[in-house]
Structure 1
Amino acid sequence: MSTTTPPTGTRPRGATLHPSDVDHLIHANHWDPFGVLGPHPVGENGRAAVAIRTLAPDARKAWVVDLSGGEPGRRVEMERLHPAGLFELVITGRSSAPPYRIAVENGEGHSWQYVDPYRFGQVLSDFDIYLLGEGNHLRAYDKLGAHVREVDGIRGVHFALWAPNARRVSVVGNFNHWDGRRHPMRNLGPTGLWEVFIPDLEPGEVYKYEVKSRYNDYLVSKADPFGFYAEQRPQTASIVWDVDGFNWDDSEWMARREQRQALDAPISVYEVHLGSWRRKAEDNGYLSYRELAEQLAAYVTEMGFTHVELLPISEHPFDGSWGYQPVGLYAPTSRFGSPDEFATFVDTLHRHGIGVIVDWVPAHFPRDMHGLGFFDGTHLYEHEDPRLGEHRDWGTKIYNFGRAEVRNYLLANALFWLDKYHIDGLRVDAVASMLYLDYSRNPGEWVPNAFGGNENLEAIDFLKKFNESAHAQFPGVLTIAEESTAFPGVSRPTYIGGLGFSLKWNMGWMNDTLRYFAKDPVYRKYEHGSLTFSLVYAFTENFMLPLSHDEVVHGKRALLDKMPGDQWQKVANLRLLLSYQWTHPGKKLLFMGCEFGQWREWGESQSLDWHLLQWPDHHGLQRMVADLNRIYCSEPALHQIDFEWQGFDWLELHDWENSVLAYLRKGKHPGDEVIVVCNFTPCLREGYRIGVPHGGGYRELFNSDAAIYGGSNAGNAGYLESIPEHHAGRPYHLNLTLPPLGVIILKAQSGG
C-alpha cells in the first residue's frame, strides 16, 4: 500500500525556482514550460539532486508516487510553492527521477492521479523538424496534429502544432477543464513548432489549442489545423482520432485502379452533395456515411457511372457553403458520422467497383475565429496584404503560397486524402483564382509579380508540386482542375511547362453548349458555331465535360427547366443534351438529379425530388442515362482516344440550316468506330444523307428518342444498309431517319 513517509534521500522543502518562473507558470505565460515542470537536476557542489514539479490548479495537496518498487508505489508529499497549485519535490542523492505518477487532492477532498506529461522527452525527431521547416515533409499529417501512440511504454496522445509567433500554446479540452495552465506545450525554438505528449488520453477526446501571441498578448482558442475529426456545427473543437485504425477491404480495386483511371479508360462521374442526395423521409435528417454507402453504391452501379465526385467533405461550419469554405481540411465532416464511417463509405464504393473523387479547396479559407485566420496573432496562413490575401467575391482568405510551411500544409493535405482514405482523385476548386493575381480585381486592387505580370508565380509553383507529388506517390490517381480560362498546359506534364493535372474541366464547352440549348430551335442555326467551336480546341488539353452543381443554382435554373419548348420538347432537349455530352470527346461529369430531370434548382437543405420517377418522362430519362453509360463503357470508340485528333472525324459539320451534326468516334483498333448523328431541332428528318467510311450494314446502338426513354420512337428500326455511292468525300452513304431533338449512335456490322 502507499505511504506518505518520504523515502530516504528526499527533501520535501527547498524551492529551486526563480519567482519569475513561478509567475509565468501560474499565469500561463511561460515560454518554456518543459524547462521548469517535470523532473530537473538541481544538485550543487557535486551533490546530486533532482526536482519534480507539477502545476495542478485548484489542488490543495500533491504527492509524487514513486514507482521504483512497482505498483502501487510510495507517495511522497510535495511542497506547494504557490496557492495556484504549483508543487515541487526535491530528491537528493540521485541525478534523475525515478518512474513516478502525480497524485493530487483538491479542497473538497477529491483525489486523482496522472502520469506527468512533463517527464517525457521530445517526440518529434530532428529530421522531422528539419523537413517541416523547409516545407518538404510529404507526410506532415503523421507528425503534426493529435496522434494516439505509446511513448516509453505509456499510451496517450501526442499533440504537435506550428505557431511560430506564439508566446505560449496549450492543449485544452474537457480532460483539463479547458484550462490553458494545465498542459502548456514544449517550444521547439526557432522552428515555430510546439508539442506535448499527454498520457492516458484516448480517441474521442475533444480539444483545441489555446494560443497566446507574442504580439499584444492576443489570446485565442483554435481548432487543430491537422485535426482528423471535428465536432458538429455549431461546436468547433477538434476530436482525437486514430486514422490508421480502419481495416480496408478494397485491395482488388486498388490493384486495378491505375488501369481503370487511365486516360484511355471510360470515366463517367456522378457529382454528389452527400447532404442532399437523399435524406431521411421522417425528419429530413442526414443519412449516415454507412447508409449513404450502401444506397449510393447500389444506385451508381445501377446507373453505370464509373465514379462519384463528392462536393467537399472536409469539415466546414456553414451548410450553405456546400463545403467550399472548409475549416478542417484533414477532417471528414462529422455531419454524417465518424472518420471510420467515412472510410467505410469509400471502402464500400470501391468494393462495388466505383471510384471516389473529392473536391479539394486549396484556393481559400473562411474567416471563422476557430480556423486558420490570424492563427497565432499574425497572418500566418494568409497574406497580410489584403490585395494578395483576400477573396472579395467569397469573403475569404487566400493562402500564402510563398511560405514553405503553408505550402507543406496544403501539399500534405492532398496526399493525406489519397493515403489515409484511399481517395482516387482530387478535383481542385477555383484554380483560375489561384493562377491570377488580378482575379476578380479592378486595376489598383492587386500587386503584380516580380516580373510585372498578373500570374501568381508562387501558386503556379505550388500546383506543379502538388501534381508531381500526387502522381509520384500514388500512381493512377486523378487530379482534375476546375480552370475557366485559357491558361496553357493545365493538363500537360510539368517537365514540358504544364501544371501537371490529369484532366481539366472544359468550361468553354459547358458555357457554349448551354447557351446553344437555351435557344429556341428555330434560332439554333444562327448559333451553330457554338457547337462546332469546341472541336477547334478539344485536343489542346485532357478535357472533362462538366454539367455540374454550379449550373443548377443561384437562379440559373435546373437543366430541364433551361430547355425551351413545351414539356415534351424540354425533356427531349435534355435527352439530346446528355446524349451529345456522352458522345463528345472528353470524360463526363453530371450533377445528381440531372440524370432524371429534376425541375427545381438544387438546394442543399433537402433531398432530390425522387418522387418524379413515378412519371414516364423522368423514369425514361434516367433509363437513358444508364444505357448511355453502358454504351460509353462498352464501346472503345467513345472513350479510348478522347484527347487526340485521331479519335474524331467530322462527317457533317456545316449543316447549320438543319442544325445537324454527324461525327465519327474511333477506338485504337480497326472496327472500333461508331457514328453519332445529332438533330438539334424538333423536326423529323427522313432520308437524311451522310457519308460513311464502310459499306454493309449498320446497327443502331442507341436512339435517344426511343419510346422506352419517353421519346416518339422515330428512327431506323435498329438497322440499315449503306449505299455504295460517294457522298461528302466518303465511299458510302446512309439515308437516315433523324428523330426530332434526338441522337442516334450507329456501328458498322463486322465484315462490313
Structure 2
Amino acid sequence: MAEDLAKWLYLFNRGQDNQSFRRFGAHRVGADQWQFLVWAPHARTVAIVGEFSAWQPVLLTPVGETGCWLGQHPGQAGQLYKVQITTAKGEVVEKIDPYGFAFEKKPGTAARLSDLPAHQWGDAAWLAKRRTQLSYDQPLNIYELHLGSFKRHEDGSYLTYREAIAQVLPYVKEMGYTHLELMPLMEHLLDASWGYQLMGYFAPTSRFGSPADFLALIDAAHQLGLGVIMDWVPGHFIRNTDTLAQFDGTATFEYADPHRADNVRWGTWNFDLGKAQVQSFLLSSAMFWLDWCHLDGLRVDAVSNMLYMDYDAGKEHDRNRNGGRENLEGTAFLKRLNTEVFAAHPDVLMIAEESSDYPQVSAPIDAGGLGFNYKWNMGWMNDTLKYFSTDPYARRQHIDQLTFSWVYMQNEQFILPFSHDEVVHGKKSLMHKMPGDRYNQFANLRTMAVWQMTFPGKKLLFMGSEWGQFLEWRDWSQLEWVDLADPLNAKMQTFTKALNHLYLHTPALWQQDFQGAGITITIGDRPDVIAFERHGKRAGDCLIVALNLLPEERQAFVLPVPAAGTYEVVLNTESARFGGTWTHLQRIVRSRGIPERGRPDSVTVVLPAMGALLLRPLTEKVNLDSHLEVRSDD
C-alpha cells in the first residue's frame, strides 16, 4: 500500500495522474473508517475537522516531501467535514476538500463523507452504439438547459435530478433533440453564476439531489436515447476564501503572479495551468465526469481565456516569454487534456467554446491542432443574429453577414450555437430580437431556424427559444411555459419539433457537414434570396434550401435543382400549422428541363414571404415520416 501511494503521489506531482479522485479526499477504508489525503505543499500543519470529531482537529501526517498529508478517522457516511490548514505564517484557516464528492447545500461549503457515487448502470446499449457511431457523420442537435430554471415547483423550489427524469428528458426527446447540454452542475455557491464559478470539481451540486440521483438522470437519458454533455470550467474558480483560493496560505491552485491569477472578466481566480499538480487535478476532474458519470462529452468553457495572455481586461499588453500573445501553458494543457480524454474515450465529444480566430481548434494534435472534436462557431452566430435583428428592408445591403460564413464554414468542425449567452443581460430573447410586429417576428424566427438547421455544422439551441419565449432568460425563475397558451408560441414549438425531426431523418443535413461535397451554393449573389443544396453520401440524396429574406412573396420563382425529375416540398415555414398564412401548400413540383445557374435543371416555386422552402427529390421509395410531411391545413 505504501509503495502504491508513493507511485500515485509521484505521478500526481508530475501532472501524470488523471485518476487522482480515487485517492485524494475522503475514502472509506473500513466499515466506519475513512482515509483523508490532502495536497497542501506549503502548510505548516493539516487537519480534518468534522461532525465525526465534534469539529475538533484530527491531524494528518506529511507524506515525505510530496506536499501531501495523510490520516484516518472513524466516521459515518453523510457527516460534514472541512480541511483545517495552519499556514507557514501561522494563520489557521478552514477550507473545502477539493476532492469532495458531495457537499452540504448552499451557503455552506463543508463536504460530506461520501463514497464514489455508486449506480447500477443500464446504458450498455447506448455506450455500445456510441462506440460505433461517431458524431461527425451523424445528427447532432443539442438542447442547452439550465436545470435550475427549466421548470420549478409552485413554491419556487427546484426540480430534483429524479424529477428531471420525468419532466425534462421526455420533452427533450419528443422535441427531436439528440443531446442535452447541461450548464455546469458541479458544486457552486452563487446561483447567479449559473454554475460557472465553481468550487466542487468532483461533486454534482446538492441543489438538485445526491450524486446517486445525478447518475440516475444520466442513465435514464441514455436509456431514452439522449446523450448528455455538461459544461466544464478548467480555466478559473470561485474567489471565496474558504474554497481553493490560497489553499495552503500560498498560491496553490492559482498562478503565483497575482496579475495572472486575477480573472477580472469573471471575478474569479485563474488556474495555474502550467503547474503539474493542477494539471493532475483538472485532468482527473474531466475523467471523473466521463469515466464515473458516463457523460458523453464536455463543453469546455472560456477556451479563449486559456489560449491568450491578453484576453482579460487590463491584460491587453501581456506577453509570453517568447513575446507572443499565446498562453503557452494553457495551450499545452488543452492539448494534453484532449490527448488524455480521447486515449480513454475516443467516442466522447470535446467541444471548445472559443470566440477568437485561433487556428485548428478542432484539428488533430498531430496535425498541429488543439484536438477538440468541435468548436462553437461564434462568428456565424453573431453575424446571423445581427442580420436577422435588422429590419428586412434595411438588411438588403448586409446579405454578406450571412454569405461570408460560407468562406470559412469548413475551417473547423463547427457547432452552430444559439446559446444562453445570447438571451440574457439585456440582449433580448431570440424572438424579441426579431424585427416587425409579432407575426413578422415569428416569421423571421422560423426562417432563421431553417438557416441554422440547414447550414453545415452541428446545432445547439437554448431552452425556451424553441417556442419563441419573449422574455429574456432569468436564472431565478422557470421558463415562461404559460406562453404556450398563445397560438403563435404553440405553433412555433410545433415548427421546431417538425424541423428537428426533419433534420434527424435527412442524412443530407449531417453526413457531410465537414466536406465540400456536402453543400452546393446555387444562389448567393442576391440581396433577398439565398439557395443551396445539401448532399448526403448516397448519390441523389439531396435537400434543396431556399430562403426568402424579405416580406414579399416570390411568385414563379425559378430555383436551380441538381437533376431532372419530381420534387416534393417537405417544409414550408409559412404553413398555417406553423403560425404562417398558407392553408394550401404546394406539395409536388416537376423540373422544367431548363438549366439554371450552372445546375442541370430547375423548378418553379412560390417562395413564401419572409419564409423558407425545403425540397427533396421524390422517388417511389419515399415513405414520409409523419413529422416530416407538411400537410395542408384546409
Q: Could you tell me the TM-score, scaled by structure 2's length?
A: 0.96
The 5-angstrom pairing of residues 171-182 of structure 1 reads 171-180=48-57
The 5-angstrom pairing of residues 613-624 of structure 1 reads 613-624=484-495
Q: Which of the two has higher C-alpha Rg?
A: 1
Deviation per CA, 1:183-231, whole angstroms, max 9, x where unpaired? 10121021101111223x23212111001112x1121111111111111
Q: Secondary structure at the match of 2:180?
A: strand
- The aligned counterpart of 1:229 is 102
Tell whether 2:211 aligns with 1:328: no
Alpha-carbon shift at residue 619 of structure 1 (Å): 0.9
Contact preservation (8 Å) 2:18, 2:281: no
Alpha-carbon shift at residue 122 of structure 1 (Å): 5.2
Contact preservation (8 Å) 1:259, 1:265: no
**Which letter maps to 1:507?**
M
Alpha-carbon shift at residue 393 of structure 1 (Å): 1.4
Q: Secondary structure at the match of 2:358?
A: coil
Contact preservation (8 Å) 2:52, 2:76: no
Q: Secondary structure at the match of 1:515?
A: helix
**Which letter maps to 1:194?**
W
**Which letter maps to 1:187?**
P
Contact preservation (8 Å) 1:714, 1:739: no
The 5-angstrom pairing of residues 624-635 of structure 1 reads 624-635=495-506
**Which letter maps to 1:650?**
I
- The aligned counterpart of 1:533 is 404
Contact preservation (8 Å) 1:356, 1:423: yes
Tell whether 2:235 aligns with 1:360: no
Alpha-carbon shift at residue 490 of structure 1 (Å): 0.2
Contact preservation (8 Å) 1:716, 1:737: no
Q: Secondary structure at the match of 2:168?
A: helix
- The aligned counterpart of 2:556 is 687
Relative contact order (alpha carbons < 8 A, sep ≥ 6): 1 or 2 greater? 2
The root-mean-square deviation of aligned C-alpha atoms, in Å, is: 1.5
Tell whether 2:220 aligns with 1:348: yes
- From 277, 293, 296, the counterpart of 2:150: 277
Contact preservation (8 Å) 1:250, 1:351: yes
Tell whether 2:452 aligns with 1:581: yes
- From 58, 63, 67, the counterpart of 1:192: 67
- 1: CA distance, partners of 2:436 / 2:490: 20
Tell whether 2:3 aligns with 1:126: no
Alpha-carbon shift at residue 260 of structure 1 (Å): 4.3
- The aligned counterpart of 2:569 is 700
- The aligned counterpart of 1:664 is 533
- The aligned counterpart of 1:136 is 16
Deviation per CA, 1:230-284, whole angstroms, max 9, x where unpaired? 1111111011212242211111111111344421110000000000000012x01
- From 273, 289, 293, the counterpart of 1:421: 293
Tell whether 2:77 aligns with 1:203: yes
Change (3 A) 1:260 1:354: farther
- 2: CA distance, partners of 1:358 / 1:644: 28
Q: Secondary structure at the match of 2:177?
A: coil
Tell whether 2:139 aligns with 1:266: yes
The 5-angstrom pairing of residues 425-574 of structure 1 reads 425-442=297-314, 447-574=318-445
| Misfit runs of 4+, over 6 Å | none
- 1: CA distance, partners of 2:541 / 2:29: 56
Tell whether 2:569 aligns with 1:721: no
Contact preservation (8 Å) 1:467, 1:500: yes
Q: Secondary structure at the match of 1:248?
A: coil
Consecutive unaligned residues in structure 2, runs of 5 or more: 622-634
Change (3 A) 1:650 1:751: farther
Tell whether 2:242 aligns with 1:370: yes
- The aligned counterpart of 2:627 is none
Deviation per CA, 1:93-140, whole angstroms, max 9, x where unpaired? xxxxxxxxxxxxxxxxxxxxxxxxxxxx85962211211121101211
- The aligned counterpart of 2:42 is 165
Contact preservation (8 Å) 1:417, 1:423: yes
Contact preservation (8 Å) 1:229, 1:333: yes
Contact preservation (8 Å) 2:117, 2:212: no
- 1: CA distance, partners of 2:355 / 2:372: 14
Q: Secondary structure at the match of 1:670?
A: coil
Q: Secondary structure at the match of 2:466?
A: coil
- 1: CA distance, partners of 2:199 / 2:612: 45
- 1: CA distance, partners of 2:457 / 2:584: 27
Q: Secondary structure at the match of 2:543?
A: strand
Alpha-carbon shift at residue 297 of structure 1 (Å): 1.1
Deviation per CA, 1:519-577, whole angstroms, max 9, x where unpaired? 10011211100110111000010000000000000000011000000010001111111
Alpha-carbon shift at residue 644 of structure 1 (Å): 1.5
- 1: CA distance, partners of 2:138 / 2:486: 34
Contact preservation (8 Å) 1:715, 1:738: no
Alpha-carbon shift at residue 718 of structure 1 (Å): 1.4
Deviation per CA, 1:390-439, whole angstroms, max 9, x where unpaired? 11111111111111001111111011100111000100111011100011
Contact preservation (8 Å) 1:243, 1:340: no
Contact preservation (8 Å) 1:133, 1:405: yes
- The aligned counterpart of 1:145 is 25
- The aligned counterpart of 1:709 is 578
Query: How many pairs align?
Result: 621
- The aligned counterpart of 2:624 is none
Contact preservation (8 Å) 1:223, 1:236: yes
Q: Secondary structure at the match of 1:590?
A: strand
Q: Secondary structure at the match of 1:356?
A: strand
Deviation per CA, 1:428-477, whole angstroms, max 9, x where unpaired? 1110111000113446x654212111100100000001111111111210
Identity %: 43
- The aligned counterpart of 2:510 is 639
- 1: CA distance, partners of 2:76 / 2:493: 47
**Which letter maps to 2:81?**
Y
**Which letter maps to 2:144?**
E
Deviation per CA, 1:120-161, whole angstroms, max 9, x where unpaired? x859622112111211012111111111233xxx65221111
Consecutive unaligned residues in structure 1, runs of 5 or more: 1-120
Alpha-carbon shift at residue 727 of structure 1 (Å): 1.2
**Which letter maps to 2:22?**
D
Contact preservation (8 Å) 1:723, 1:734: yes
- From 465, 468, 471, the counterpart of 1:594: 465
- From 238, 242, 263, the counterpart of 2:115: 242
- The aligned counterpart of 2:184 is 312
